[in-house]
Structure formats: C-alpha cells, structure tokens
Amino acid sequence: IESHPTLHSNTSLSTFAMSLSSVILSCPSFHFLFYEFSFASVLCKVPLLFVLLYFFVCSLDVLSSAFQLSGGRVAGDIFQENAILSNPVAGLVVGLLVTVLVQSSSTSTSIIVSLVSSGLLDVQSAIPIIMGSNIGTSVTNTIVALMQAGEREEFERAFAGATVHDCFNWLSVLVLLPLEAASGLLKNLSKTVVDILQLSTGEAPQLLKVLTEPLTQMIIQLDQSVITAIAMGDQSVRNNSLVKQWCQIKVLKFPLLIFFSKCMQFFNFQLYYIFLCPASGRHIFVDCALSDLAIGLILLACSLLVLCSCLILLVKLLNSLLRGQLASVINKVINTDFPYPFTWLTGYLALLVGACMTFLVQSSSVFTSAITPLIGIGVISIERAYALTLGSNLGTTTTATLAALASPGDKLAAATQVALCHFFFNLLGILLWYPIPTTRLPIRMACALGNCTARYRWFAVLYLLVCFLLLPSLAFALSMAGWKVMTGIGVPVIIGMMAVVALNMLQARRPDCLPLRLQNWDFLPLWMTSLQPLDNLITRVTLWCGQGRGKYFSNYDKKQLSVLGIMTLIYRFIFPVPEILFVIHL
C-alpha cells in the first residue's frame, strides 16, 4: 500500500482500509464464520456457567457446616435458657443470632421443632425465635452482594436487591411480633389448621441435595443430633464432636463354655465382635485430631475463598453472556409486565416462580444469593427481585413443612404447627407489604440503602454489623433488663424515629406547612445529617494505617481511600493475598 501512489497519504490509506473492511464484512462467509465462532463461544460458556453455579451452591453448603462447627455448641447452649426464650424480644434476638452463627435457618428451625416436640419449649415461645431465624437467613445474600463492590453501579443494585429481603423481614417483625404477643394470632391460626388437617407422617424430599451431597459429603459431614441434644440439655453428648466419624469400633466380648463329657474338661473362649460403620461416612476430616473450632475455621476460610472466586467468575461470565441483544431480550422477558388489564398478575407470577425455585433448591439463601449477581448486572430489576424474594420466603417454609411431616406420629402435630407458624408469618408479611403498591416500603428502603452504599462503600460493612449484631444485642440487653426499662427506652426511640420519618415526608411534599426552621435539617450538626464526617475519619485512619504498608496503598489517592471499606483493610493487613479476591476496586 505504501508503494502505491494513490494510497500513500493517510487519508487515502484510511479510505482504502474502510473499503476493504466493508467488503470483508459484506462477505457471507465472514458472517457465517463469525456466527459459528459466537455460537461455539456460547456453547463453551454455558456449561462453565453451570459448573460455577454448582461449586457456588456447594460452597454455601460447606460454609453453613463451617459456621455450625464454629458456633454450633454456642447455639445449642443458647437454646437451653428457657427463661430467656420466654421473653418475645429475647427469643427474636436468639433466633437471629443462632441463624447467623450456623448460617442455616433450616438448622435453627429443626432445633426449634425438636424442642417443641420434646416439650422443652412451647409453641408460643417458639414463634419469636422463628421470626428471628427468618431475619438471620437474609444475611447470606447481603454478604454475597459485597463481592460486587468493584463496580459502583453494580454494587448499588446488588446491595439494594440483597437488603430488600432484610427490610421486608424487619418490617414484618415490627408489625407481627407485637400483634402475636398481644393476641397469639399465629399460634391460634396454625393450631386451627393442624386440627383441620388429617396429618400423616412422610419423608421430606431431597432435590438439589442429591446433586450437591456427593461433593460436600466428601469434604465434611456433621452429626446434627449433637447440637439438638445439647439444646435439649443432654450432658452426655457435650464432649462429642460435631464431625461425623467414619469408623466407630465397638468390641463386644461373649464368654463361651465348651464341655467335654468324657474327660470332664472345661474350656473358656472369648468371642470378639467388631462393628464398623459404613464406608459412605468417609470425608476429609474423618479421624482428624483437630478440634471442631479449628476444622470450622479451616472450612470457613476455604469456603469463603471458593465462594468469592465462583461469584467473581460468575459475574464476569454473566456479563460476557448477557450483553448486547441477548441482554435486552432477557431483560424484557423478566422485567416486562403483562399487558393491561393483567399487569398486576406479573408480580404474583414472579412470586410463584420464587417459591417454586426455592422449593427445588431447598434453601432460600441459595436462591437469593444466586439472583444477587443478576440484580447487580441489571438483568433483574429491584421490583422483580422483590417479588422473587417474597416467593423465596414462602418456598423455604414449604420445605420446612414437608420436613416436619417426616416427624414421628407423637411429635407430628407440634412440629407441623411450628412450621405453619413460619409459613403464616411470611404470608401475612406479604399481605402487608406487597398487594398495594404504596405499601411496598422495602423497595424504597433498599434503594436508599443502595444509594448510600454506592457513595460510602464502607457503609455496607457497618450495616451488617449494626443490623445483625449491635442492634440485636442492644435489644436483647434491654429485654433482659425488664419491660419497664425496655418500654422507657424503646418507646421514645420509636416515637422519635416516626417523627423523623413524618418530618422528612413533609419536607419533601409539603414544606410550606412547616416552620422555616424545620423545612430542612441545616440547623442540626453535620454529623447528624450526613455520613461525610465519618467518611473523613475513615479516610484519615486508612491513610495512617497505609503509611506502614505503602506498597499496598500507593495506587490510591486520598479521595479513593475514603471509600475503601473496613473489611478491605482487615483483609489487606492480615491476609496478603491477591487483590482480586479481597480488595474493593473503584
């Protein structure tokens, strides 16, 4: 081209290149090859997507086992305090903390069912614990949302989609817990249904676990009966390990007397019988000398590593698959409403889909954690995610009800009543916060949390600590101090919060009705109306901590460091691992 006189100039060269490219692109063979390449790429990515999803679900299962090994005994000990559990607020906090400890609402619910069935806990006291376990199970997808902190917009959507579950559960508890304490609504309703139904024992279905158990049981197997026995006060199992043993040897000796009549001699023999449990109990930590806590911490680190890696790869893979025309098509299919006048049916169909999918995977945590990346990349809208999450809440109660039907005949009624209380709690919550669009407060609350987290990313960690640790602990302490103390402190706080909400609504809609001083919050100190002072403090702390580890913080300026999260600092100081796993990128 350079030797050609008419193509020597840059203009002629660019014109020639554009003409050549148009000729190539117009060639049918090129289109066929490009289509074949794209189709082959999709064919390779789809199986990889299912493989990553499989390991993602397995890592959640192992993560639950790790939390049970680390805090299962503490959870069992907590359930022994009947004096505490008789307090509704304390019972709510116990259910929340135990579910956060074991990372499984199914485990905490099964313990509650066992306590009720054995008569150690009445149904009235079990209902607040069920409500608390419903809140505690929503922490998993909130943690999963933290893994999308690399992109600001994705993080905003993912965190909003995850916290909509938290907001729904907290609002439902704020309404239904006082109502239950005053009238016993859930107890009486579930009792009526149990009396009407002709119950018969059966066996709970095993659907997704049929696929995941072959891998997870090779890693770790737990003896769930130990936690239940500790909760029921059985001191004989306190020193038993939660790790299921593959080989339990029992040697039985039987004396055998042989008599010979002619010589009148006696011979004594000892017969030994050795019993071994089956080979299906083999796993990595069988006959391990480590303690349950050490094994739990090892599994916790490994499962979190696999979980984060799978989630990062899933998001990257979904971004590569769901883009362009395919993304728009999927977005329209999932988020488009039915034509008028059946528009209102779309949300209820999504609710039914969420219930069915959760029934199939037998875990609301797995389902809500799986859709969180899809919310982050924009495939599922927050409104549609809200309906799917509510359906997931119903689906997980259906699984618990079927599991209760597997109880023995003498324990069937009590176990089913507790499971039905869980079902009616979520059903009444849906009736409160979904049918009327103006009552869908969880969506607006979650969007506000998402906006705040997108601006101050450390707020996500602060939210987890406050909502799932500090506030429950404070409520527990106030409830144990007595109703007078709790009422004297709690009522003014609630009234103050309601006044702030009402004032915010008036400032946004009818500011002319308010005095000039109350039309905005400028009369208050900045730290009471903005997170910026706290953000500045965290910036100074990160800069001070980064002076000794300059190689880690050299790529960030002061403005960027202000949005690095607290958890990022902990990981970067303690675990010098590749940044792609634990660092929040901007």
Q: In this structure, is residue 69 part of a structural domain? A: yes
Closest CA relative to residue 58, chosen from 269, 248, 283, 215: 215
Same domain, 356 and 319: yes
pLDDT at position 113, please?
72
Does residue 5 fall inside a structural domain?
no
> Which of the listed residues 479, 495, 510 is the one where a domain comes to its end?
479
For 137-192, the pLDDT digits (tens) are 888 888 888 888 878 888 999 999 999 999 999 999 999 999 998 888 999 999 89
CA pair distance 76, 227, nearest whole angstrom: 5
pLDDT in tens, 240-293: 777 776 555 555 555 555 554 545 454 555 555 554 555 455 777 777 778 878
Mean pLDDT of the chain: 74
Q: Is position 428 within any domain?
A: yes
Looking at residue 171, what is its pLDDT? 93
Same domain, 486 and 454: no
Structurally, how many domains does the chain consist of?
3
Longest dimension (CA), the chain: 127
Give me the pLDDT at residue 508, please: 85
Specify which residues 433 forms β-bridges with: none
One domain, residues 546 and 514: no
Same domain, 209 and 88: yes
Q: Of 496, 523, 550, which residue is a domain's last?
A: 523
Span 196-212, pLDDT tens digits = 876 655 555 555 667 77
On whether both 383 and 294 belong to a single domain, the answer is: yes
pLDDT in tens, 419-430: 889 899 999 999
Enclosing domain of residue 472? 42-239+289-479
pLDDT of amino acid 172: 94
Q: What is the pTM of this model?
A: 0.69
- Does residue 341 have a cis bond before it (omega within 30 degrees)? yes
Shortest CA distance to 194 belongs to which of 405, 392, 362?
A: 405
Which residues of the chain fall short of a pLDDT of 70?
1-42, 71-83, 103-104, 106-107, 110, 114, 117-120, 198-209, 224, 227-228, 230-238, 245-281, 319, 321-333, 362, 399-400, 402-403, 406-411, 546-586
**Which amino acid does the sequence have at 93?**
V
- CA dihedral sign of residues 190, 195, 201, 205: negative
421 plus 558 within the same structural domain: no
Do 359 and 444 lie in one domain? The reply is yes
